[in-house]
Amino acid sequence: MYSSSASFGSLSPSSTTGSSSRHLLDHYNKDLYRFEFKSTGARNNALKLLERNGFDYDLVENLQGYVVKLPKFSKYAQILKNSVTFKETMTERLFLMKDLAAVEEAVGLGAKIVEGDVAF
């Protein structure tokens, strides 16, 4: 599967109309709250539909620089508020942040930027 995430602000699959929404719903992963595409072409077609319907988006193809971590038993509520998703390991919590400003804020709160690839 083509791995790409796009952040659409307040966009949800139900906020588009007609055949546009049906096309986007085919690619929406309800469990992970994101759109997933099997090819670059499918992703590009969806982005064109969004543009035509007046939506802005931020395409993130490489998560490096957007993932931060905290020790597992640290306070994390403020960081969680600005994250798209998170996961836990035995020793830490990893957060995928919504934008670089959120990353900077998390670092200011004691989080460390994760080096390397992380799958969510």
Residue 8 pLDDT:
40
Lookup result for tokens 């971590």: 69
The β-bridge partners of 97 are: 83
Task: Look up the pTM and report it.
Answer: 0.63
Q: Is the pLDDT of residue 91 over 90?
A: yes
Q: What is the mean pLDDT of the chain?
A: 82
Q: Which pLDDT band holds residue 96 (cuts at 50, 70, 90)?
A: very high
| φ and ψ of 56, to 5 deg | -95, 155
Distance CA 96, CA 85 (A): 5
Instruction: Report d(CA 25, CA 35) in Å as an integer.
Output: 8
- Domain segments of the chain as ranges: 5-60, 67-113
Which pLDDT score is estimated for 28? 85
User: Are the CB atoms for 96 and 66 separated by under 8 Å?
Assistant: yes
